[in-house]
């Protein structure tokens, strides 16, 4: 079995790896590190959680240990799709380069340009950035990419999903043609294949798992959700999630709960907190300091539930996640693989449960086709609301829409409130329930005679149905 000591890494890097507690590289690391050290381009394809980050960080540190950085001209560049992933890569560099004198800068949104400019002006060996912020610095004339010797693109398929491919192509064009490129992705969409054919030169292709496969250490299950009433669908779905969490009991030490929309992330996090579950949201609209504080709390165990959009689905190294809940079935099948990949990492056991509503059947079928297996259906908890319980009010929705509408006073056109007329006798109730046409047919000549004799003036609206039903002669006579 290959060990890190067999991989011709810098002795100072090996010392840091040993201190971190690692002896044996993962398959992607064992496959990518040797060709990277030879200076070859590398195309790495592996599912999330397989150690891709160390697969490029370790050879980069070894190669950059020789040389010196120049002002505004970084020697290497690592592109990441999200701020969280970029920050995680920076942490890996700190861990493995602590015995090597290398400088780095992290260029991500939510951080002052002034602080980042100061680091770049001093000169950095490693520049870790998101595409947008990197190009912002370049456009401001604060950065030159002509000195880049090694370029890394991490989570390339996520870049594609987020619309960064045009930015990636532009950044490639700003770097030297002689650069070494390390390109990592979990899947190989046609657009990703096109980029690798364009910008990589005879790369060493390392594929350690079938594309878009879920780890065998993850127990999967899907709960088929059928709401009892449409106006309670959202609250019933949240109730089902709480029931699933409760059924898992102490085995659910912590969990990431994924939603498709940012607004749903906030609503669900507030709902869980309302019911005594320690939860916090994380999505792209939150400022960077809040996102990092929330992630740190989840990592150190002070936060039990992380409610997330897909911004947290890929690349985040949180090793001890016991459960993943898909509150929403992802619309892209590949996202399912990356979501559930947050659990069952590094050989640990994990559990991934998905709630599938009536409108999600197509997306669930796409997922099962992608992973080439059927996800087991699980029994619903007893608390699951259904048609037989539709008359019961849920804590999330104490009143149904119908109850609310009945509780509101009616208003006339003039804006004044009026009381609802209540029938005192069965005959009056039957008359109120009649349609205008039935009212007209039910009118008797005796009543017409009484009205004519009384000489009272009546409103047209009171007798409009009867008036319409009269013959022309009767209208003229009346």
CA distance 477 to 77: 95
Q: In Å, how far from its chain's centre is CA 16? A: 34
Q: pLDDT tens-digit profile of 240-282?
A: 999 999 999 999 999 999 999 989 999 999 999 999 999 999 9
Contact 332, 314 (CB under 8 A): no
Instruction: Give the phi and the psi of residue 281 in degrees, each rounded to 5.
Output: -90, 155
Contact 380, 227 (CB under 8 A): no
434 with 385, same domain: the answer is no
259 with 381, same domain: the answer is yes
> In the chain, what is the greatest distance between 2 CA atoms, to the nearest angstrom?
115
Residue 442 lies in a domain: yes
Q: Which helix (H) or strand (E) holds 256?
A: strand 255-258
- Going residue by residue through the chain, which has 478 residues, state the pLDDT in tens, using 9 for 90 and above: 689 999 999 999 999 999 988 889 999 999 999 999 999 999 999 876 678 899 999 999 999 998 887 888 999 999 999 888 898 899 999 999 999 999 999 999 878 888 899 989 988 999 999 999 999 999 999 899 999 999 999 989 888 878 899 999 999 999 999 999 999 987 788 889 999 999 999 999 998 866 567 778 899 999 999 888 888 899 999 999 999 999 999 999 999 999 999 899 999 999 999 999 999 999 878 887 888 899 889 989 999 999 998 865 555 677 789 999 999 999 888 789 888 988 887 678 899 999 999 899 999 999 999 888 999 999 998 754 443 333 333 444 443 444 444 444 444 444 454 444 444 444 444 444 444 444 444 444 444 444 444 444 444 445 444 544 444 445 444 4
Contact 73, 122 (CB under 8 A): no
101 with 164, same domain: the answer is yes
Q: In Å, how far from its chain's centre is CA 362? A: 19
338 with 473, same domain: the answer is no
Contact 180, 150 (CB under 8 A): yes
Query: What stretches of 298-430 adopt beta strand conformation (E)?
Result: 305-308, 323-326, 350-356, 410-411, 417-418
Handedness of CA 4, 6, 8, 11 (dihedral sign): positive
Residue 304 lies in a domain: yes
Q: pLDDT tens-digit profile of 114-151?
A: 889 998 998 899 999 999 999 999 999 989 999 999 99
- Cβ neighbour number for residue 104 with a 10 Å cutoff: 19
| CATH number of 15's domain | 3.40.50.300
Residue 168 lies in a domain: yes
Q: What is the pLDDT of residue 388?
A: 37
73 with 120, same domain: the answer is yes
Q: Which domain holds residue 51?
A: 4-207
Residue 105 lies in a domain: yes
195 with 68, same domain: the answer is yes
- Cβ neighbour number for residue 273 with a 10 Å cutoff: 15
Please name every residue paired with 224 in a beta bridge, in sequence order, or none if there are none.
356
Three-state SS for 299?
Answer: helix
Radius of gyration of the chain (CA): 33
201 with 265, same domain: the answer is no
Please give the DSSP secondary-structure letter assigned to residue 70: B
> DSSP of 18-40, one letter per residue?
HHTT--S--HHHHHHHHHHHTT-
C-alpha closest to that of 60 among 73, 48, 74: 74
- Among 152, 182, 207, give the residue marking a domain's end: 207
98 with 227, same domain: the answer is no
């Amino acid at each position: 079995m290959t060990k890190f000591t067999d991989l011709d890494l810098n002795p100072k890097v090996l010392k840091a790896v040993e201190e971190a507690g690692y002896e044996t590289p993962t398959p992607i690391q064992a496959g990518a590190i040797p060709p990277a050290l030879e200076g070859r381009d590398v195309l790495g394809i592996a599912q999330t959680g397989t150690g891709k980050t160390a697969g490029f960080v370790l050879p980069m540190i070894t190669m950059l240990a020789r040389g010196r950085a120049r002002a505004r001209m970084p020697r290497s560049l690592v592109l990441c799709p999200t701020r969280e992933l970029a920050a995680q890569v920076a942490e890996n560099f700190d861990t493995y380069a602590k015995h090597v004198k290398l400088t780095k800068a992290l260029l991500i949104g939510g951080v002052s340009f002034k602080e980042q400019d100061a680091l770049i002006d001093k000169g950095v060996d490693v520049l870790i950035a998101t595409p947008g912020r990197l190009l912002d610095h370049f456009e401001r004339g604060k950065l030159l990419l002509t000195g880049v010797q090694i370029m890394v693109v991490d989570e390339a398929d996520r870049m594609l999903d987020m619309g960064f491919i045009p930015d990636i192509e532009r950044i490639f064009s700003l770097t030297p043609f002689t650069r070494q490129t390390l390109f990592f992705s979990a899947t190989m969409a046609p657009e990703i294949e096109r980029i690798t054919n364009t910008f990589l030169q005879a790369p060493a292709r390392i594929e350690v798992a079938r594309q878009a496969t879920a780890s065998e250490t993850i127990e999967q299950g899907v709960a088929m959700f059928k709401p009892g009433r449409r106006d309670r669908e959202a609250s019933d779905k949240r109730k089902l999630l709480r029931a699933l969490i409760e059924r898992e009991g102490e085995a659910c030490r912590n969990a990431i709960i994924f939603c498709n929309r940012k607004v749903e992330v906030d609503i669900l996090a507030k709902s869980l907190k309302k019911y005594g579950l320690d939860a916090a949201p994380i999505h792209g609209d939150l400022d960077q300091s809040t996102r990092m504080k929330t992630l740190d709390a989840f990592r150190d165990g002070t936060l039990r539930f992380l409610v997330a959009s897909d911004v947290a689905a890929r690349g985040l190294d949180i090793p001890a996640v016991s459960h993943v809940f898909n509150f929403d079935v992802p619309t892209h099948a590949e996202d399912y693989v990356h979501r559930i990949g947050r659990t069952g990492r590094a050989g640990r056991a994990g559990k991934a449960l998905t709630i599938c509503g009536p409108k999600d059947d197509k997306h669930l079928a796409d997922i099962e086709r992608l992973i080439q297996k059927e996800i087991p259906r699980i029994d619903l908890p007893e608390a699951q609301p259904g048609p037989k319980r539709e008359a019961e009010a849920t804590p999330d929705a104490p009143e149904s829409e119908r109850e609310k509408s009945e509780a509101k006073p009616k208003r006339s056109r003039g804006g004044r409130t009026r009381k609802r007329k209540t029938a005192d006798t069965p005959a009056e109730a039957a008359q109120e329930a009649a349609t205008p046409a039935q009212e007209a047919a039910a009118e008797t000549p005796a009543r017409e005679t009484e009205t004519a004799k009384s000489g009272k003036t009546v409103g047209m609206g009171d007798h409009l149905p009867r008036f319409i039903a009269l013959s022309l002669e009767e209208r003229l006579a009346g």
